[in-house]
Structure 1
Amino acid sequence: MFPEDIQVTADAVIRAAIKAGVMVATAESCTGGLVSGALTAVAGSSAVLDRGFVTYSNEAKAELLGVSEGLLMQFGAVSEPVARAMALGAVDHSRASASVSITGVAGPGGGSAEKPVGLVHFAAVGPKGAVVHVERRFGDIGREAVRLESVRVALALLLDAVTA
């Protein structure tokens, strides 16, 4: 279902989380559940994947993850502060101690000069509470390509968070 490199990384995340005894959660916007989908494609993932939040709208980010409406108004959904709040909210609203969040503009529309198509913000929280943020500007490479590249980045971040 997923490209081989994504399958390999998802498998590594699950194995690392099992070894570390860490439960994980995802908070996804522009990927619409693809990261959770990649993780659940791995046999044994139920041992460590607690839940995935698909929070496409601002309302969902606020209601399900506790992202403040003030933060969303001030910075917009596609921003570092919101990505960080989403990752922390995923841990706060689950049994997980590690999470990854993704929020971006997959295109083909919806971009602006400040937030162009292909801009994606990621954040990951590890079991010790450290939060890491990454910004990627993939460019206008097509909706599917932006989403798949985002899955790759998110899984790598989650792997680092689980093993940190």
Structure 2
Amino acid sequence: MSDLETQDRARRVLEACRAAGFTLATAESCTGGLVIGALTDIAGSSDVVDRGFVTYSNAAKMAMLGVPEAILAAHGAVSEET
């Protein structure tokens, strides 16, 4: 995906959230903050964006997102369950 496509998608997400009265938070791992970075690069995004978590280690996933250790042990860090 190009930078322009990423910016356009981020803009559309923010517009949709505004229209619906939503705020959003992100939880990322392998993307390393790409999603929250694209959203917060847009001026005025703070009316929609609440927070973003970049939790690369399993310890961070457990501490910051509440992912149970048993889920990580059973399914790994990259799965639908986590």
TM-score (norm 2): 0.95
Deviations 1:51-95 (A, max 9, x none): 00000000000000000000000110011101xxxxxxxxxxxxx
Kindly indicate which of the two structures has a greater share of residues assigned to helix.
2
Give the aligned partner of residue 71 of structure 1. Answer: 71
The total of aligned residue pairs comes to 81
Report the Cα distance in structure 1 between the residues aligned to 2:46 and 2:40, rounded to whole angstroms.
7
Give the aligned partner of residue 80 of structure 1. Answer: 80
Deviations 1:93-113 (A, max 9, x none): xxxxxxxxxxxxxxxxxxxxx
Report the Cα distance in structure 2 between the residues aligned to 1:19 and 1:78, rounded to whole angstroms.
32
Deviations 1:89-142 (A, max 9, x none): xxxxxxxxxxxxxxxxxxxxxxxxxxxxxxxxxxxxxxxxxxxxxxxxxxxxxx
1:60 aligns with 2:57: no
Matched ranges for 1:14-163 at <5 A: 14-82=14-82
Report the Cα distance in structure 1 between the residues aligned to 2:8 and 2:43, rounded to whole angstroms.
12
Report the Cα distance in structure 2 between the residues aligned to 1:76 and 1:11, rounded to whole angstroms.
32
Give the aligned partner of residue 128 of structure 1. Answer: none
Q: Which runs of 4+ in 1 moved over 2 A?
A: none
Deviation of the 1:22 alpha carbon: 0.3
Q: Secondary structure at the match of 1:46?
A: helix
Deviations 1:20-46 (A, max 9, x none): 110101000001111000001111110
**Letter aligned with residue 47 of structure 2:** A
Q: Over the residues paired in the alignment, what is the CA RMSD in angstroms?
A: 0.9
